[in-house]
Amino acid sequence: MAELSAIPPKTEDRPSALREFWYYFSENRGAVMGLWVFAAFVFCAAFAPLLAPYDPTEQFREHILQPPAWQEGGSWAFPLGTDPLGRDMLSRLIMGSRYSFFVGIVVVCVAVTGGVIIGLLSGFAPKWIDTMIMRVMDIILSFPSLLLALVLVAILGPSLTNAMIAIAIVFQPHYVRLTRASVLSERQKDYVTSARVAGASKARLMFKTVLPNCLAPIIVQAALSFSTAILDAAALGFLGMGAQPPTPEWGTMLAEAREFILRAWWVVTFPGLAILVTVLAINLMGDGLRDALDPKLKRS
Amino acid sequence: MSLLDIRNLTVEFATASGKFRAVDGVDLSVDKGELMAIVGESGSGKSVSMLALMGLLPWTATITADQLSFEGIDLTKISARDRRKIIGKDIAMIFQEPMSSLNPCFTVGFQIKEALRIHLGLNRKERHERAIELFDQVGIPAPESRLNTFPHQMSGGMNQRVMIAMAIACKPKLLIADEPTTALDVTIQAQILDLLLRLRDEQGMGLVLITHDMGVVAETAERVQVQYAGQKVEEQPVKDLFRTPRHPYTVALLNALPERATSKLLPTIPGVVPGQFDRPKGCLFSPRCQYADDLCRSLPPTPHSAEFGKARCHYVEKIIAGELA
Amino acid sequence: MTAPIVQASALARFYTVKGGLLSKPATVKALSGVDFDLQPGKTLAIVGESGCGKSTLARVVTMIEEPTSGSLTIDGVDITPSKWAQMRETVQIVFQDPYGSLNPRQRIGQILQEPLIINRPDMSAADREARAREMIDLVGLRPEHYDRYPHMFSGGQRQRIAIARALMLNPKVLVLDEPVSALDVSIQSQILNLLVELQERLNLAYLFISHDLSVVKHFADDVIVMYLGRAVEKAPKEMLFAAPRHPYSKALLSTTPRADPEAKKDRIKLEGELPSPMNIPKGCAFAQRCWLATEECRTAPPDLSGDTHQVACLHPLD
């Protein structure tokens, strides 16, 4: 039996999982750009109070609707201009990134946790429970997501927290379906059978054996729905059902500025651009993640 | 002039960690009506070299060859369009998994008629008649009604017959069979191998049989080449190969077969086939070879003459003479 | 003669398959009425083509599936699903595909320790690790492999790991479900040798499922040939390979390719294919492909008869 040890194993030279991941990820240039923008976004959110030149709610009465610095009438004191109440746009946008980031994180965490647990249960449960769970999820999926979120917020009352809860509930079914699908395919594999032959309990099979092998598609989906969550929260804010003024949430800022669209383009354009760039960056990054994590798309 | 002539074929894949050489300087020639077997373990590049010939490799692959000619036409020199006219019509290929080689959405009749329409441009009635004729030729019972069945309604053996019918639809001059019976049971395997041999005799086509199964080689092939880690290490007529294998790898491989065992413990080849990260500098078999010395580990050997089975080994003559034990 | 470690009598396993909207549910008789005894330290091989029920038999003996009828006795205990948990330590299994049978997210150490964590909760972590390291050595792997993930290993090494995991609980019976058919010839011989050595050292009983007759001829002590869920022939290896008595066994032996181009070939070419297991013919299942079949064969399935060399055929070969 010693014959195998005659040859020194050379597996050390094989690239580590992380390096291989980075190789595939970095092949997608859009994804790398997305990653940098996202990093800047996270940085803004983390150090917002230090980066913002002013308090986002402080009103400079003498500078109402001042245009951005490079336009006639603007000044470098307010690089991106001020809003109708004389608040500094730049400071509000920087602080707004905090809310957006917060919304994304909370919504994704709640939706993933709930969705994964329900998905695992329905993948392992007897057929009738599985059917019941899946029909409930189908019902949730059959509503337009924003409409359902609106209804939920209308019931719970308009606030940022309630908007996040509503969005999380709307997102849940995607994770349930995704988890269940990968559980069903993983369950067939021999390593699960051998865990059963070793006597593993249902709970152990679900969480220790199967779950870690289902995570890759869930991570990709989580990255992509981070951006959708930001978008939906902004939409709810715009409709007056999310964060309430004077919170400098991007969607709420858009709603407040609606009547000035023709007179002062900057009050609508900058929050809109902020949403666009963030969502685009996260989506690009998510695509890169999928290329790197999904073995089916990998080149031979 | 041989039907297919490949000289010094090399295929490299670009991967996450540099280039991987899957096929390394392989030569192959097949005559009309000849059955050539390529035998080797997984990772020996036996399928990749044929996929390279067919132009079926992904874009990450770089193919180089001194010569790649079919009936005297150099395939590397002609346009992609001219190439496609030859491949699929004059050269056909069948694969290991008959179930996944057929489209599950369409009836087998539709699929074979589609192939006939594209390559031969027959009209509807001619296609139907030719399809029945082909099914009959490959031994599918009740061909007329079988045309309307879907792949999942038939067994693996029947699907492989359909694949063969599609492959021979254009009367190819060369048929490449990549592990055609590996997914099938032995009684069905015997039927399919017989069918391939019969078709070769009837149509006079060249046949390249890629397999890992020494038993299949022994029972069907005429000439055999053994591949190891992307290189051709030996080539001999089948009887000579099994009687007097030349390369130490072939010797060890044949000895490791359970049916040649003399005791309960089998002779083994230690270690594994080298992969991308542990490719030896000299002879690729040297880490597993009982005769290997410093020369083998530093200098790659070149093939010997046909008398010594074209073996890629520094010490073939000495091993045969029994000077190395 | 010692007492058999596994005894099966009239073991059967049927599946109900729901038909489409209009068709009735059908019954698939994957395994119908198989008997065998397995002695400690011996190897019983189950041979047959796909769909003959050999893998179902493996799953029933490993207590992954409950038999529909018949009785199974392991180590003197009559097995019912309530006994499964306590008997897990006695019977373990090694699967065919070494790539699917190891959890890709667990290190080798964790994979090997898992059976102990589940079945010996009072064992200390240090003892578990010591046992796992001992097992790594026993199956011919190296100590540094302990902390690696399965994807860093070749097929043969993975199969060694799968064998090590199966042995962690000191089982008395190992079910080997095509353990070498996914491996290359040069690796196959390494694994077969390992299994032979382990059997001698640990006095294991093997239930060896295979379709490869040359491996069975080399490895087994007794052989059962199965066709469509039934045993058609049961004999010690030497007797079966010297003179098969069932026409199917004879055909199977003659069509197995031999690595000797100069051997004379007198293949018996079987016509047709396996009937669907949903629709097994009434009489002998092999009758429609058999060249010796008579009217009598098509009426009732014959039972195994004979002493040491048993055959289920009305017209056995001599």
Q: pLDDT tens across B263-299, in order?
A: 888 888 888 888 777 888 889 999 998 888 889 999 9
How close does chain C come to B85, measured CA to CA in Å?
37
What pLDDT was estimated at residue A181? 92
Helix (H, G, I), strand (E, B) or coil at A120: helix
Lowest mean pLDDT among A24-33, A155-164, C11-20: C11-20
Res. A37 pLDDT band, cuts 50 70 90: very high
Instruction: Compute CA distances B6 → B23, B35, B130, B224, C41, whole Å.
Output: 12, 16, 33, 15, 53
Digit-coded pLDDT (tens) for A242-268 = 888 788 888 888 888 888 888 888 888
Pick from A6, A14, A24: CB nearest B271: A6
Give the pLDDT confidence score for residue C21 in this predicted structure.
63
Q: A189: which chain C residues are within 8 Å (Cβ-Cβ)?
A: 100-101
CA C208 to each of CA C45, C46, C73, C173, C178: distance values in angstroms, whole numbers, following the listed order: 4, 6, 18, 11, 7
SS3 per residue for chain C: CCCCCEEEEEEEEEEEECCCCCCCCEEEEEEEEEEEEECCCCEEEEECCCCCCHHHHHHHHCCCCCCCEEEEEECCEECCHHHHHHHCCCEEEECCCCCCCCCCCCCHHHHHHHHHHHHCCCCCHHHHHHHHHHHHHHCCCCHHHHHCCHHHCCHHHHHHHHHHHHHCCCCCEEEEECCCCCCCHHHHHHHHHHHHHHHHHHCCEEEEEECCHHHHHHHCCEEEEEECCEEEEEEEHHHHHHCCCCHHHHHHHHHCCCCCCCCCCCCCCCCCCCCCCCCCCCCCCCHHHCCCCCHHHHCCCCCCECCCCEECCCCCCC
- pLDDT (tens digit per residue) in A228-243: 888 888 888 888 888 8
Q: In angstroms, what separates the C-alpha of C285 from chain B's closest C-alpha?
A: 16
* Residues constituting chain B: 325
Q: Which residue has the higher pLDDT, C185 or C275?
A: C185
| CB distance A125 to A90 below 8 Å | no
Stated length of chain A: 300
The number of residues making up chain C comes to 318
Pinpoint the alpha helices (H) of A65-210. 89-124, 127-142, 145-156, 160-187, 190-197, 202-204
Between C276 and C127, whose confidence is greater? C127
Q: Helices C185-202 & C155-167, crossing angle to 10 degrees?
A: 20
pLDDT given at position C302 = 87
Asked if pLDDT for residue A10 goes beyond 50, the answer is no
Residue A108's nearest CA partner among A192, A252, A224 is: A224
> In this structure, what DSSP letter does residue A209 have?
I
Q: Which of A:174-193 have CB within 8 Å of B?
A: none
Confidence of residue A8 (pLDDT cuts 50, 70, 90): very low
Contacts of B189 in chain C (CB under 8 A): 255, 257
User: What share of chain A has pLDDT > 70, as a percent?
Assistant: 92
Chain-chain contact of B268 with A300 (C-beta, under 8 angstroms)? no
Residue A285 contacts residue A35 (beta carbons within 8 Å): yes
Predicted local confidence at residue A293, as pLDDT: 76
Residue percentage of chain A with pLDDT more than 90: 24
Q: Is A72 on the interface with B (CB under 8 A)?
A: no
Burial of B59 per CB tally in 10 Å (0-12, 13-18, 19+)? exposed
Distances (CA, A) of A250 to A79, A91, A138, A278, C29: 18, 12, 31, 11, 65
Note whether C50 and B182 are within 8 A (CB): no
What is the pLDDT at residue B36?
93
Could you read off the pLDDT of C25-57 as tens digits, one per residue? Answer: 778 888 888 999 999 999 999 998 888 888 899
Please tell me the predicted confidence (pLDDT) of residue B9. Answer: 92
pLDDT of C196 > 90? The answer is: yes
| pLDDT class of C294 with cuts at 50, 70, 90 | confident
The predicted structure's pLDDT at residue A295? 55
Contacts by B66-70, CB closer than 8 A, 24 or more apart: B66/B7, B66/B8, B67/B5, B67/B6, B67/B7, B67/B8, B68/B5, B68/B6, B68/B7, B68/B9, B69/B4, B69/B5, B69/B6, B70/B3, B70/B4, B70/B5, B70/B174
Burial of A48 (0-12, 13-18, 19+ CB in 10 A): buried
Residue C265 has pLDDT above 90, yes or no: no
Average pLDDT, chain C: 88
Whether chain A has a CB inside 8 Å of the CB on C115: the answer is yes
Write down which chains contact chain B via at least 3 CB pairs under 8 A: A, C
Residue of B nearest to A12 (CA): B277
From first CA to last CA, the distance across chain B in angstroms is 41
Task: Report the distance separating Cα C28 and Cα C25, nearest Å.
Answer: 10
pLDDT for C19 equals 61
What is the tens place of the pLDDT at every residue in B49-97?
998 888 888 888 889 999 888 888 888 888 888 888 888 788 999 988 8
Q: Would you tell me how many other CB atoms lie within 10 Å of the CB of residue A260? A: 15
Distance separating alpha carbons of residues C148 and B76, to the nearest angstrom = 44
* Chain B residues with a Cβ under 8 Å from any Cβ in chain A: 13, 15-17, 58, 60, 268, 270-272, 277-278, 287-288
The C-alpha of B281 sits at a distance from chain A's nearest C-alpha, in angstroms, of: 14
The Cα of A142 is separated from the nearest Cα of chain C by a number of Å equal to: 26
Q: What is the mean pLDDT of residues A116-128?
A: 92
Q: In B, what residues contact C, Cβ < 8 A?
A: 41-42, 155, 157-158, 185-191, 194, 212-219, 238-239, 242-243, 252-254, 256-261, 264-270, 272-273, 275
Give the dihedral of Cα atoms A94, A98, A104, A105; nearest 10 deg.
140
Whether B276 contacts B20, CB under 8 Å: yes
The token pair at B183 is 């997914």
Q: What residue ranges do the domains of chain B occupy?
A: 4-227
Mean pLDDT over each residue of chain B, to the nearest integer: 88
CB contact under 8 A, B253 and C193: no
Q: How far is A7 from chain B (nearest CA, A)?
A: 6
C228, C277 Cβ separation under 8 angstroms: yes
Class of domain B4-227: alpha beta
H/E stretch holding B22: strand B18-30
Statement: residue B184 has pLDDT above 80:
yes
pLDDT band of residue A289 (cuts 50, 70, 90) is confident
Residue range A87-294, CATH number: 1.10.3720.10
- Return the pLDDT at B15: 77
Confidence of residue B325 (pLDDT cuts 50, 70, 90): low
What residues of chain A lie within 8 A of the CB of B58, using their CB?
299-300
Residue B184, C-beta contacts closer than 8 angstroms, at least 6 positions apart: B156, B157, B160, B192
- Candidates B15, B59, B286: best to mutate against A (most CBs of A within 10 A) is B15
The CA radius of gyration of chain B, in Å to the nearest whole number, is 21
Q: Residue B84: how many CB atoms within 10 A of its CB?
A: 11
Mean pLDDT of C97-124: 90
Tokens of B84: 């496609």
Residue whose pair of structure tokens reads 């038993």 in the numeric block: B215
Range with the poorest average pLDDT among A54-68, A140-154, C19-33, C147-161:
C19-33
Question: Which of B225, B239, B155, B227 has the alpha carbon at shortest distance from B192?
Answer: B155
Choose the most confident range, by mean pLDDT, from A145-149, C159-163, C273-277: C159-163
Question: B28 forms bridges with which residues in the sheet?
Answer: B6
pLDDT score of A2 more than 60:
no
Domain ranges of chain A: 87-294
Q: Which amino acid is at A162?
A: N
Helices (H) and strands (E) counted in chain A, each on its own, are 12, 0
- Report which secondary-structure segment, H or E, holds B39: strand B35-39
Which chains neighbour C (Cβ–Cβ under 8 Å, 3 or more pairs)?
A: A, B
Residues C52-105: tens digit of each pLDDT: 888 899 999 999 889 999 999 999 889 888 888 888 889 999 998 888 899 988
Amino acid of residue C139: V
- pLDDT of A225 higher than 80: yes
Q: What is the pLDDT of residue B206?
A: 92
Q: List CB contacts (< 8 A) between C139 and chain A.
A: 1
Say what the pLDDT of residue C130 is.
Answer: 93
